[in-house]
Structure 1
Amino acid sequence: MTAAARTRIVSAFTDAGVTGQLYATDIDTGASVAVGADPESPTASVHKLCVIAALYREAAHGRLDLRRPVDIPAEGRSPGATGLAVMRDAARLSLRDLAGLAVAVSDNTAADLLIDAIGLDTVNACMTGLGLTRTVAVQSMRELYATLREDAGGSPSALTDPAVVARLRALDPARTNRSTPREIAGLLAAIWRDEVCAGEYGEELRAVLGLQAWSHRLAAGFPFDDVRVSGKTGSLPTLRHEAGVVEYPDGGRYAVAVFTRAAATTVTLPAADAVIGRAARIAVDALRAAAV
């Protein structure tokens, strides 16, 4: 069953013009489907999952208050196309509301304010404590985007030039935030099993991870009113990722991470977005069929 699923997933990636990696696991049984699940990849905004997990773990251990307010000046915000980056006035938000923005609209400023609050060392210590030793943060979002500007010579249009894309540090897992599909799915499974934090903190963490507004990748593979998809996208030139949890009304719950790299450097590639949901659906269907 899973061997056939792997063949179909590889074919789907090929048809979409991407190189793809996938890991899907039944959160309760540990059964899994893997396609290239272990090579390290740049995580882009998927790494915000790690930041928010570490934030809630710190709160659960009494080391910070999620209601603590953060003053956000109008100037000096991290670059981005959504959220606080495009807002014009000073603001004040709690840490947990910043976490909500970091997931809901992938707000880079919100994510960096959380990193400022807890530090990358804390994020990495949380991952190591969960046994996710290949999931490593080395830079904030503002630092990541600074490398993009430098490598593109200050010209955003250069980010579609294949020669420029080939030299981007943000696409080199040795020089940017990195992980594997297996470990990111493992993090999500740990969150849903209350292994990151339990009780009200675990419940709130899962609720925050269910806020994402985008439905064109992972969620597109599960177009049902009674199936809940909680996910986090990540995007960089040629990279389109998403990781999330798919929950069925019968109690089945599956952590899935899909990482892709497109051959084309164009910004708009609907097939590359859609194959994330398609591959995830094939994997989850195989896991559900095997459990019957």
Structure 2
Amino acid sequence: MHKGIFIGILILLVAVSCHSSPSEEGSVGELREAINTRLDKVEGDFAVAFRSMGAEPVTLLINEKETFHAASTMKTPVMIALYKQVAAGNIALDDSVKIVNEFKSIVDGSPYSMDLSVDSQEGLYGKIGQYSTYRELNFQMIMMSSNLATNILIDKLDAKKVTEAMRSLGAKDIEVLRGVEDLKAYEQGLSNTTTAYDLMLIMEAIAGGKAVSEEASLAMFEVLKAQHFNEIIPGQLPKNVTVAHKTGSITGVRHDSGIVELPDGRRYVLVLLSKNLKVPSEGIEAMADVSRMLYEYIKGKER
């Protein structure tokens, strides 16, 4: 090879080497390893589903198809089903709805009532026999995770239609079978279940304006922003970061699923699920750490 050509090629190779950055795959791989290392310090099982919004989305998935008890994360599907019925003209958000505390088990139709001591929203219990609206019940279901509001809405909307609404969004595994505290169903293993991947798809639909409609998606985003329980995804994020999300918890289970919006307008979807937690507070802390790690990763990327 001619000496001049050889030197030219050498200079070109050096230039490419100096200006190339680590591959996106390598960067995400390192992040995944760091997340796994953090979660491995806690006794329990976890799933993570993360995807940035935009023309070139970054995705990070860990145990994304593993099944978890949905706990209160199933309330986001109920909200979507509500807005779908509104869009179809079957109901209006400001229609009156009677507040009741008697529901039917999916096992045999026998009646059961909600226990105030295990609900996170006690205000509605003082209004039993009175009337509210779909809009207010939805707000209480999401913001305060009211189980009573949830059961009233599921009774009106039909759990099967809630699951059907999720299938229309591409969520193939999430199952909304029943309302909350149906003990007969629980004893027979009939519980609402989800995967991190499906919750990611659902939150993506809301973030992208594709859950029912752009207008409905924006309205749902605003309701999710009002979330009262903020220990996990927003737990270690700056106050100027917006998080529209829905949590969930039962024994040994702590979940969070939502949309994170940076001050510059960039968004990403994050789902953090856990089960078999020996010490729930440790699980919460670990997932909050993971949320911070993903935020810092996105913040550090060029827009």
Per the shorter chain, which TM-score range? Answer: 0.7 to 0.9
Give me the whole-angstrom Cα distance separating, in 2, the residues matched to 1:107 and 1:61: 25
Matched with 2:212 is 197
Contact 1:16–1:271 under 8 Å retained in 2:
yes
Partner of residue 87 from structure 1, selected from 114, 125, 143: 125
The question of 1:241 aligning with 2:255 is answered: yes
TM-score (norm 1): 0.83
Matched with 2:79 is 52
Identity rate, percent: 20
Matched with 2:41 is 15
Residue identity matched to 2:257: A
Cα 1:187–1:73 shift into 2, 3 Å = closer
The question of 1:68 aligning with 2:95 is answered: yes
Matched with 2:194 is 179
The question of 1:232 aligning with 2:243 is answered: no
Residue identity matched to 2:39: F
Give me the whole-angstrom Cα distance separating, in 2, the residues matched to 1:10 and 1:81: 33
Residue 78 of structure 1, CA deviation: 2.5
Give me the whole-angstrom Cα distance separating, in 2, the residues matched to 1:141 and 1:2: 38
- Secondary structure, in 3 states, of the residue corresponding to 1:220? coil
The question of 1:207 aligning with 2:197 is answered: no
Give me the whole-angstrom Cα distance separating, in 2, the residues matched to 1:237 and 1:57: 32
Give me the whole-angstrom Cα distance separating, in 2, the residues matched to 1:263 and 1:219: 20
- Secondary structure, in 3 states, of the residue corresponding to 1:209? helix
Give me the whole-angstrom Cα distance separating, in 1, the residues matched to 2:232 and 2:259: 13
- Secondary structure, in 3 states, of the residue corresponding to 2:77? helix
Residue 263 of structure 1, CA deviation: 4.2
Gaps of 5+ in 2: 1-26, 103-111
Higher relative contact order (CA 8 A, sep 6+): 1
Residue 217 of structure 1, CA deviation: 1.6
Partner of residue 67 from structure 2, selected from 40, 51, 72: 40
Partner of residue 129 from structure 1, selected from 168, 171, 180: 168
TM-score (norm 2): 0.80
Residue identity matched to 2:46: G
Count of residue correspondences: 264
Matched with 2:18 is none
Matched with 1:141 is 180
Gaps of 5+ in 1: 152-167, 170-174
Residue 287 of structure 1, CA deviation: 4.1
Contact 2:232–2:291 under 8 Å retained in 1:
no
Give me the whole-angstrom Cα distance separating, in 1, the residues matched to 2:240 and 2:173: 34
1:197-233 CA-to-partner distances (Å, cap 9, x unmatched) read 33432221111111111111221031x1210111111
Asked which structure has the greater CA Rg, the reply is 2
Give me the whole-angstrom Cα distance separating, in 1, the residues matched to 2:58 and 2:298: 7
